[in-house]
Amino acid sequence: MPDHSFLAMRQSIIDGTPAIAASLAERAIVVGTPPIEAINLGYVPGMHEVGEQFARGQMYLPDMMASAEAMRAAMSILDPELKKLGAERAMAGTVILGTTRGDIHEIGKILVGTLLTAHGFRVHDLGVDIAGEKFAEKALELHADIVGVSALLTTTMRNQKTVVEALQLAGLRPQVKVMVGGAPVTRRWAEEIGADGYAPSAMTAVVLARELMEQTASSEPGRGREFRLGIQGREP
């Protein structure tokens, strides 16, 4: 896909125009652009620009909401294309995903969920503004291998710690790995709160989830069976 198409995608996010964002996504599929390229080279740079303009006071909350709407419109077209890949893969593990308490940012988390699904993980997305206990409850119910917690605000990233604590309280910590991410999150923060890993992007979240599954498979031979079958089968 030519560079100007990626620029048009970026602009559709900055302008907050869902119809244009969606039609560019449809066009990308028709011309055979990999959906992940459209997301990473077109739409996400638009979101970053929006964040910068908001921080400089050149954009206001309603503008940021319109941009998020445009991003969602594009994702609604690209998501199913990405997920199709996952249907052909062996089950890699079960992941419970959510945005932490007090935080309603969801776009990055949805992208992480989509790519995990595309790489064979069974993903249960709890949504946004989720308390630690809710993560623990679902992890227990679905026998999760990994709990993934997203946070976009410096004020809400501390709630990622409450998820680790809730899992500990429920006695699930030995068997459930915790991964964290989101713009303000760092590897150091992940270590500080006792998470098992940090990923700066959706693609690295997939790599991390696979590493965590490998650790589980080597420490609990029976448990990682599907994962081992998965890696012997198709690799991403």
Partner residues linked to 105 by β-bridges: none
128 contact partners, CB below 8 Å, separation of at least 6: 98, 99, 103, 104, 105, 106, 109
- Does residue number 68 form part of the binding site for ligand B1M (CB under 6 A)? yes
- Does residue number 109 form part of the binding site for ligand B1M (CB under 6 A)? yes
Amino acid, res. 203 = M
- Does residue number 196 form part of the binding site for ligand B1M (CB under 6 A)? no
Residues 111-140 that bind ligand B1M (CB under 6 A): 111-112
- Does residue number 65 form part of the binding site for ligand B1M (CB under 6 A)? yes
Give the span between the Cα atoms of 70 and 182, in whole angstroms. Answer: 20
Find the binder of ligand B1M among 149, 167, 206, 213 (CB under 6 A): 149
- Does residue number 184 form part of the binding site for ligand B1M (CB under 6 A)? yes
Give the span between the Cα atoms of 230 and 190, in whole angstroms. Answer: 27
Give the largest Cα separation in the chain, rounded: 55
The interface region with ligand B1M, picked from 20-28, 164-172, 173-181, 219-227 by CB under 6 A, is 173-181
Pick 48 or 84: Cβ nearer ligand B1M: 48
The interface region with ligand B1M, picked from 77-85, 163-171, 197-205, 222-230 by CB under 6 A, is 197-205
Residue with tokens 């989509």, as numbered in its chain = 114
Find the binder of ligand B1M among 14, 22, 36, 47 (CB under 6 A): 47
Give the span between the Cα atoms of 30 and 26, in whole angstroms. Answer: 6
